[in-house]
Amino acid sequence: MRVCALNAPRYTSSMPIQTVFKAEIERISILDEHNQFDEKLGAGLISDEDLVRLYEAMSSCRYLDEVAFKLQRSGRMGTYPQNMGQEATSLGAAYALNSDDWLVTCYRENCGLFWRGVPMESILLHWMGDERGNAMPAAHYATPIAVPIGTQMLHATGLAWASKYRGESRIACTFFGDGASSEGDFHEAANFAANLDIPVIFCCQSNSWAISVPQRIQCSAPTVAQRGMAYGMPCMQVDGNDIFACVYAVKAAAKRAREESRPTFIELVTYRLGDHTTADDARRYRDQAEVDLWKLRDPLIRTRKLLETKRLWDSSKEDAMRQRIEVSVNAAVARAEEIAAPPTSDVFDHTFAQLPPDLVRQRDSLQTHSLAGEQAVHTEGH
């Protein structure tokens, strides 16, 4: 929505006080934790076949979290941020978007990246400290994991702006936490996107905690979505643990982006069930009662309940799925751990599109003293 017009008169009434702006933010929920499903809003959003696939995708991501935690604790991997509790947000977006729309993630969107086709071992390699984990295959239209808080929102805005400039239908969707909405990068990205009509979707994963800082301290507004409204973009709040609501919201935002070239702010209300990372101990600042309450709202539990209601799932299928997942995750771990060490030449070959001659000599000789000698001769000649 537009809040103001360039040529609007400064005064439109002789009244001393008048209302110049009113707004409402809608909250969307289709499948709640009590297995209540809104047939009207949910009609045609996700086929039964795809719902099974989405549930399996979330389950696979959840199991990877379990394995990654053990890898970190056994010293086989560095710090790792678990995704559990937030799987539906990025997965719903990846499902709703076109396969060539940009996914611009931070570090808790594994489920959406895997749905897009990013190899599971890429995520493991990243947290093992291997830069090859950040080399996202071009065909997946996914950017490398962004650990600095908020920087990726500017990247998404730039990617969407470039697509618009080229006349492409491709849009960008970026993810960030409620804490990141307090960063200057968010406000710069939102200002550019709204004022320049850039087709980007801002997906705020509002999980109540910016590491150990509760949302009530870093955002006094009733909803984080209001921060997007301040820039004149349409905003909505969504049950982020409801895969149907996530798909519904992103589909609507994507339609607006393609047809009107307008950004949208989506506040996906969710919860991280684990620590911020394996370097954190959330028990020091969160009440267990709060965690227990959100466990009842788990996106995997409510999706499975609906599948069982539809007679699409049972314990035998659950057991068979678990066996398949264990095999695939263990294979990904093996590929990550057994990957050949990168050659020293990588330090040079991935720095320039065309390597300068002096660096070619340095790469081939793995020495720098001869370069210094050449430089001295060159200097004396002048």
**Among 276, 286, 302, 304, which one carries the catalytic annotation?**
276
DSSP conformation class of 342:
P
Beta carbons within 8 Å of 196's beta carbon, 6+ residues apart: 161
Q: What CA–CA distance (Å, rounded) separates 351 from 72?
A: 30
Q: What CA–CA distance (Å, rounded) separates 248 from 259?
A: 17
**Among 126, 155, 272, 304, which one carries the catalytic annotation?**
272
276 is catalytic: yes
Adjacency order of strands within the sheet including 264-269: 26-28, 235-239, 264-269, 200-206, 172-177, 102-104
**Among 285, 322, 324, 350, which one carries the catalytic annotation?**
285
What does the block give as tokens for 180?
């990141």
Beta carbons within 8 Å of 206's beta carbon, 6+ residues apart: 177, 178, 215, 224, 240, 267, 268, 269, 270
Residue recorded with tokens 């982020």: 240
Q: What are phi and psi of 260, to 5 degrees?
A: -115, -5
What does the block give as tokens for 361?
């000599």
What does the block give as tokens for 288?
């267990």
User: Do the beta carbons of residue 307 and residue 51 sit within 8 Å?
Assistant: yes
- Give the residue from 197, 187, 200, 242 showing the smallest Cα distance to 104: 200
Supply the residues annotated as catalytic: 272, 276, 285
